[in-house]
Chains A and B, each alone.
Chain A
Amino acid sequence: MDPSLYLDRGTWVHRLDPRTKMFLLIGSFVLAFVFLNPLYLLGVLAVVLLFGYLAGVLVNLRRIWFILVAIAIVSAILWSIFGSGRTPLFLFVEREAVTYGIGVALRIDITIIAGMIFLSTTRNEEVAIGLVRLGIPYRFAFAVSTALRLVPTIVATGLTISQAQRSRGLDLESGNFIERIRKHLPLLVPVFVTTVRSTNVFSMALESKGFGASPERTYFLQIAMGRRDVLVLVVFVLLLAGCIALRVVGGYGGLEGFTR
């Protein structure tokens, strides 16, 4: 199992500066929250999907489709129960509450797809240096990038430990979902111990290479904002400003009659 979403495609989206992609990610979150009407949100979703298509990473949708569909169903059900509107649809459910639930589902799906595109086009090293260049302290960025890098290693360790236990007769496959979780829990201790016992060696290795010896650092990976980044950011800011104007000045994209 490889939990990493990164796809090495070499498209122009992949070559964008990581800071540009971070701004686009945050901007897409804002864009998703500008409208409430599902029709307008479908437009935003189309833009995000087009960007993912140009990046050649929509194949990763296969890995999260279950979550996206589940969000749509559960959000519509939850808001039908907890929300209210003016137009009765059936039993105690009002049309505005269902529409709002669909709108919220689209909002969350848009932000999750935007997050997937970001991670599918940006390497861990780029995330780390992007954070540092944005003013995040190096040690924090180092911890984030190291954790990101270690996740697949720890997952692999967990699989090795579970295989070792199976070879000794532990049955992890039988039983219902809760029973299977219960059987997996004792594996947490060796995963924790195997990982944490390397802390001192890891720390010594870092310090022997001058970790934290000087406040000024140099980086192997160099990043720079180019013309392409500026162009993409200008186009995106214009799109965002247009959508905000449409919503605030024009009054489009809202949802009348819904109350929480």
Chain B
Amino acid sequence: MKEVLTMWRHTQMVVLVALSAAIYAAVLIPFKGFPIIPGAVEIRPANVFPVIFGLLFGPAGAWGAAIGNLIGDFFGTLSPGSIGGFVGNFFLALLPYKMWGAYFRRDENVEQNVSSGKKLAVYIAVAAVASMACAVIIAWWVAVLGIFPFLATLVLIVSNNAIMAIVLGPVLLLALYPRVKQWGLLWTEIMNPEEVPASRLQRVGNVLVWVGSLGGVAVGVILSLTGVASGVGIGLALLPFPILILVGSFILGGREQVEAAHEMIAGEGQESEA
């Protein structure tokens, strides 16, 4: 995950953090008046953005989603729960771009768009798993703090994130990808390969993130419904799942996407010279 630190060297990435955070916050704020769980969950059409930001802007999109959510909280719902919101939204944008490369062979087109059936399926998969990971992290945090019940928070965040990202996301990505590519603002074009970790255990990382996300949701629901654990108890019981998500994110890498983008740019340059 070193790219989440090395990206700050690039002025363009710093600007993209600021702009994506501002866009996310600007679309979140008008819907603060329509809470589902007041102070924790609102109706959030803006939740389509973190997955799109992640795929297009990579680590800048992840920081942008986290900061944008925090700024959204600044406009009426800032509380200790905002820490969970910051981390959860960071992973909501981080996981899609980290996992994207795990579904494509080296010789395949790995561009982060939905131009084929396979890419659309991959988009839906990574959006779903990122939505679950985000929900597990936030619901776990608010359960530990004793702010809101785990089950209600989990179900509402998963559905809020997944519906927005899966229904609206492909259309938005289809419209935005060509423009962002034309402006040279894709993270894979801005960052250098050596600034992104190599993907040596990509499949293992992918499995760990799936187990952490899906397992966190499943075990959390079972524990809540059976009443075996609650509050801090459920926080302790579910602790391994956010840790699995974190470890999986470290292992996933992402360099191959940057190398593929740079090879494509070099190829296009040679074609235009010829």
Q: Do A and B bind each other?
A: yes
Whether B21 pairs with A200 at a CB distance below 8 angstroms is no
Whether B67 pairs with A115 at a CB distance below 8 angstroms is no
Point out the residue from A63, A155, A181, A212 that lies within 8 Å of B26, measured CB to CB: A155
Q: Report if B146 contacts A (CB, 8 A).
A: yes
Whether B183 pairs with A147 at a CB distance below 8 angstroms is no
**A66 with B8: in contact, given A29-B79, A151-B25, A154-B26 (CB under 8 Å)?**
no
Whether A139 pairs with B172 at a CB distance below 8 angstroms is no
From A1, which residue of chain B is reached at the shortest CB distance?
A: B30
**A111 with B183: in contact, given A78-B152, A155-B26, A195-B19 (CB under 8 Å)?**
no
For the complex formed, measure the closest distance between the CB of A38 and the CB atoms of chain B, giving whole angstroms. 14
Whether A112 pairs with B77 at a CB distance below 8 angstroms is yes
Dominant secondary structure of chain B at its interface with chain A: helix
In the complex, which residues 1-21 of chain A have their Cβ closer than 8 Å to any Cβ of chain B? 1, 3, 5
Which of A48-56, A186-194, A218-226 faces chain B?
A186-194
Give the interface residue-count category, chain A: 35 or more
Chain B contacts of A193 at CB under 8 A? 176, 179
**A111 with B78: in contact, given A70-B35, A193-B176, A260-B231 (CB under 8 Å)?**
yes
Q: Report if B185 contacts A (CB, 8 A).
A: yes
In the complex, which residues 36-58 of chain B have their Cβ closer than 8 Å to any Cβ of chain A? 37-39, 43, 45, 48-49
Whether B79 pairs with A112 at a CB distance below 8 angstroms is yes
Q: Which of A1, A158, A185, A195 has the most CB of B within 10 A?
A: A185
Point out the residue from B19, B68, B172 that lies within 8 Å of A188, measured CB to CB: B172
Chain A contacts of B30 at CB under 8 A? 1, 155
**A158 with B184: in contact, given A185-B168, A199-B12 (CB under 8 Å)?**
no
For the complex formed, measure the closest distance between the CB of B234 and the CB atoms of chain A, giving whole angstroms. 8
Chain B contacts of A64 at CB under 8 A? 76
Point out the residue from A74, A112, A206 that lies within 8 Å of B11, measured CB to CB: A206
For the complex formed, measure the closest distance between the CB of A32 and the CB atoms of chain B, giving whole angstroms. 8
State in angstroms the CA–CA spacing of A3 and B9 once bound together: 31
Point out the residue from A67, A82, A107 that lies within 8 Å of B147, measured CB to CB: A107
Q: Which of A118, A147, A150, A154 has the most CB of B within 10 A?
A: A147
Q: Report if A140 contacts B (CB, 8 A).
A: yes
Q: Report if B18 contacts A (CB, 8 A).
A: yes
Whether A146 pairs with B18 at a CB distance below 8 angstroms is yes
Whether B63 pairs with A143 at a CB distance below 8 angstroms is yes
Whether A115 pairs with B79 at a CB distance below 8 angstroms is yes
Whether A260 pairs with B48 at a CB distance below 8 angstroms is no
For the complex formed, measure the closest distance between the CB of B260 and the CB atoms of chain A, giving whole angstroms. 22
Whether B80 pairs with A33 at a CB distance below 8 angstroms is yes
For the complex formed, measure the closest distance between the CB of B240 and the CB atoms of chain A, giving whole angstroms. 21
Chain B contacts of A191 at CB under 8 A? 23, 26-27
Q: Report if A211 contacts B (CB, 8 A).
A: yes
Whether A143 pairs with B67 at a CB distance below 8 angstroms is yes
Q: Report if B17 contacts A (CB, 8 A).
A: yes
Point out the residue from A73, A143, A200 that lies within 8 Å of B185, measured CB to CB: A200
Q: 19 A–B contact pairs at CB < 8 A?
A: A64-B76, A67-B76, A74-B38, A112-B77, A142-B14, A142-B18, A144-B18, A144-B67, A147-B22, A147-B68, A150-B19, A150-B26, A151-B26, A189-B172, A195-B23, A196-B183, A206-B14, A206-B15, A259-B230
Chain B residues within 8 Å of A, Cβ to Cβ: 8-9, 11-12, 14-23, 25-27, 29-30, 32-35, 37-39, 43, 45, 48-49, 63-64, 67-68, 71, 73-81, 145-149, 151-152, 168, 172, 175-176, 179-180, 183-185, 230-231, 233
For the complex of A and B, 5 pairs with smallest distance between CB atoms: A115-B78, A150-B22, A147-B21, A111-B79, A146-B18
Q: A147-B68, A148-B71, A151-B25 are in contact. List 19 more A-B contacts (CB 8 A).
A: A5-B75, A64-B76, A67-B35, A71-B39, A111-B79, A112-B76, A112-B77, A143-B63, A144-B67, A147-B17, A155-B30, A185-B168, A188-B27, A188-B49, A193-B179, A196-B20, A199-B19, A200-B12, A206-B14
